[in-house]
Amino acid sequence: MRQVVLDTETTGLEVRQGHRLVEIACVEMVGRRLTGRYWQTYLNPERAMDEGASQVTGIRDEHLVDKPLFADKVDEFLAFVDGAELVIHNASFDVGFIDAELARLGGAYGRIGDRCNVLDTLAMARERYPGQRNSLDALCKRLGVDNSRRDLHGGLIDAQLLADVYLAMTSGQVAMDLAFEQPQESAASMAVDAPLILRGRPRVLRASAEEAAMHEQRLDALDKSAGGVSVWRRLEMPAEAGSA
Burial 95-119 (b: 16+ CB within 10 A, else e): bbbbbbbbeeeeeebeebeeebeeb
d(CA 194, CA 112): 49
Catalytic residue among 19, 63, 153, 215: 153
Q: Is 127 exposed, middle or buried (0-12, 13-18, 19+ CB in 10 A)?
A: exposed
- Is residue 113 helix, strand or coil? helix
Q: Which residues pair with 3 in a beta bridge?
A: 29, 85
Active site residue 153: yes
67 CB neighbour count, 10 Å cutoff: 16
Answer whether 57's CB lies under 8 Å from 90's CB.
Answer: no
Active site residues: 153
